[in-house]
Structure 1
Amino acid sequence: MDGLSVIVRPISGPEELGLFTRLEYVLDDELADDLAAGRRRPGWMWVALRGDRVLARAAWWSRGGDTPLYLDVFDIADDAPDPDRLDVAEQLLRTATAAVLPAGAEPPEYNRFLPPGWRQDTATRQAVEDRMAVLGRTGAQLFVERLRLEWRPGTAVPAGSGRLAFRPVRDTGEITAMMAAVLDGTLDAHSRADLATMTPREAAAAHFDGELAGYSSPREWWQVATLPGGDPVGFVLPARNDYNAIIAYVAVLPAHRGRGYIDDLLAEGTRVLAAQDVPRIRASTDLGNTPMARAFARAGYVDFERTVTMTWS
């Protein structure tokens, strides 16, 4: 201990990104653009300092609104000799949360990207457990772990079976109705949580308004799969978010599950995005959603990362 007191504060602006990134994470290269685009704000990016050493940091992200949607940066210095470093990280988190969020508001979920084999690496696992322990002190609990998947150029574009035809989604009403229908029997943890407090139609509308409506990529990319007679089988929503080309949503309607149509849908969505000459296509699914994970693997997507999510609800 060097006798210096801990100072917890937000960064003053982009000029302090060098200070903020003394602790490292995979999102660091995006921070400057996020600040410029309004997805982050200096007042949402906090550090705990002892002298000139950064002991911990935290940052929130939004799609450009006034309220953060995720806590997605939370780091604790692993080379700090201080025996109170977890206490310092807790102080940072509590102080920053009180300043960033409206009084009494439930904190938005915490997301952390991790290597696929994070449990097998002793140092990585300890760092994860330290962060989760501090978050747990503030009331957070593990919600879900997700696979992050990626299709890369040079990988064969999966071929459809030819059993289905594809047409663009007609309008918002059609896609939200189909989104509501596919929630029957869903294995997705976020969807199941939504259904605990909302009807399927309410959950679908909230998902659409909160995410899909904000994508600037052409909606002509969104495709409905149909049988030869025109009956819908499912849908796939290829899109671009602020960072990557993505498979934003893919699902088979309950009456048509178990026939391998998911492979046709993923093939079509991948084909649409690959035709845009993108450097990669990203997707994700819950670790426990084994059927969807296997479908992505068959389509040539690799499991390159994980997301651990904790919530305060």
Structure 2
Amino acid sequence: MDHAELTLRPITGPEELDLFCGLTYALDHELADDLAAGRRRPGWMWVALRSGELVARAAWWGRAEEPVPFVLDVFDLEDVAVGARLLRTAMAEILPTGTRPPTYHRLVPSDWREEATTRSVVEDRMTALAQTGAKLLAERLRFEWTPGTPVAPPNRLVFRPIRDEAEILDLMTRVLDGTLDAHSRDDLTRMSAREAAIRHYEDELAHYRSPRDWWRVATLSDGTPVGFVTPARNNYNPIIGYLAVLPEHRGNGYIDDILAEGTRILAAQEVPRIRAATDLGNVPMANAFRRAGYVDFERTITMAWP
């Protein structure tokens, strides 16, 4: 294929959304609102055109107040080599020199491996990303709870609001010991547990749109902390943001009690759904979601650059 015929460029603005959506994805309906809110910018949304026809596209998502995007979450292509070239070109323009590229996240069907065409499309995107240096970080299960699903009553644990930022950071640091979460394990290869906890808090929890008094510490009857949960709302859905059991209390089934409390808090807000996710390899957490009536409806492929 003659790459000299390609035009690689960002879109000019919302008026080119129809062009950008010549290739499709489940997040397309959010693009206009994200542009208006500053979560996406024309300079973060790139297209590869051949004779005016869209053959690849990529878009990054970020926060309006931050100068660089946070995640690559739209990437579609008709040719692997073109997709890889588009990514290299766009990242060279978008990211400051020496910056680690934002992580790639892609929603895929739960059974994506079972249908040949779907599998080929997913693997082509992953191959293009790999050609730019990205590697698979995790495959995550996405869960959903809907109203009417029973919620277990309080049983063995006592719950109280988290006191302050210092307490949640201390708990987040402690639960990283032995964590099964691939993102956290990746962070721990480059930073201390405390630094990883602060990064997670600042990148995610600090941006939730919901009251922090929804967050709960789970304790034994004598007040000893066992774990915590942060039921919340992000920009799109009510979520179980972070749920963990302290290392010394794992293996006792407390995860079920803590998840039930987080679910109960959100259900009391009369939400239409609750979303949650965990790594495919985090079997204890995945099984807890299933026991609580959450349905595995989708997956996320996550790739990252070293």
Q: Give the AA of the match of 1:59.
A: A
Greater Cα shift, 170-179 or 209-218? 209-218
After TM superposition, where is structure 1 displaced by more than 3 Å over at least 4 residues in a row? 1-4
**For residue 294 of structure 2, what is the aligned residue in structure 1?**
301
Q: Give the AA of the match of 2:40.
A: R
The 1-side partners of 2:3 and 2:235 are apart by 44
Segments of structure 2 that go 5 or more residues without pairing to the other structure are none
**For residue 97 of structure 1, what is the aligned residue in structure 2?**
91
Q: Contact 1:4/1:51 (CA < 8 Å) preserved in 2?
A: no
Question: Between the two proteins, what is the percent identity of the paired residues?
Answer: 65
The 2-side partners of 1:292 and 1:204 are apart by 19
**For residue 7 of structure 1, what is the aligned residue in structure 2?**
7
Segments of structure 1 that go 5 or more residues without pairing to the other structure are 78-84
Structure-1-length-normalised TM-score: 0.94
Query: Are the structure 2 counterparts of residues 3 and 180 from structure 1 closer, same or farther at C-alpha, using a change threshold of 3 Å?
Result: closer
Paired residues for 1:228-307 under 5 Å: 228-307=221-300
Displacement, 1:4? 9.2
Q: Contact 1:160/1:263 (CA < 8 Å) preserved in 2?
A: no
**For residue 135 of structure 1, what is the aligned residue in structure 2?**
129
Q: Contact 2:154/2:261 (CA < 8 Å) preserved in 1?
A: no
Displacement, 1:2? 11
**For residue 116 of structure 2, what is the aligned residue in structure 1?**
122
SS at match of 2:122: helix
Structure-2-length-normalised TM-score: 0.96
**For residue 311 of structure 1, what is the aligned residue in structure 2?**
304
SS at match of 1:203: helix
SS at match of 2:48: strand
Query: Are the structure 2 counterparts of residues 52 and 298 from structure 1 closer, same or farther at C-alpha, using a change threshold of 3 Å?
Result: same
Paired residues for 1:1-313 under 5 Å: 5-64=5-64, 65-77=66-78, 85-156=79-150, 158-313=151-306
Displacement, 1:178? 0.7
Q: Contact 1:60/1:68 (CA < 8 Å) preserved in 2?
A: yes
The RMSD of aligned alpha carbons is 1.6
Encode CA deviations 1:115-140: one digit per residue, 9 max, x unaligned. 00000011111011111111111111
SS at match of 2:152: coil
Query: Are the structure 2 counterparts of residues 16 and 230 from structure 1 closer, same or farther at C-alpha, using a change threshold of 3 Å?
Result: same
Encode CA deviations 1:1-31: one digit per residue, 9 max, x unaligned. 8999221111110111111111000110111
